[in-house]
Amino acid sequence: MPRYEYRCRDCGETFERSRPMAESDRPAECSRGHADTVKLLSTVAVGNTAEAPAAAGGCCGGGCCS
């Protein structure tokens, strides 16, 4: 089940909730019981052991052209 991050507009608390995608926009109460919350836009990090490709320019992107 996906985890979503929310922030309470009343007290400023940031918290997470696991819930189905269909309920992601539904209000979520903070730990103090406030219901005026907003879902935050979270970034997703995907781990990988491979190095990222070089972002160099050139005709073939990596400076391998003569």
Flag whether pLDDT at 52 surpasses 80. no
Q: In the chain, helix, strand, coil percent, each to 5?
A: 5, 20, 75
What pLDDT score was predicted for residue 36?
95
Tell me what the mean pLDDT of segment 15-40 comes to.
92
Confidence grade of residue 62 (pLDDT, cut at 50, 70, 90):
low
Tell me what the mean pLDDT of segment 7-12 comes to.
96
- Spatial strand order of the sheet with 14-18 comes to 14-18, 3-8, 37-39
With beta carbons less than 8 A apart as the criterion, state whether 15 and 40 touch: no
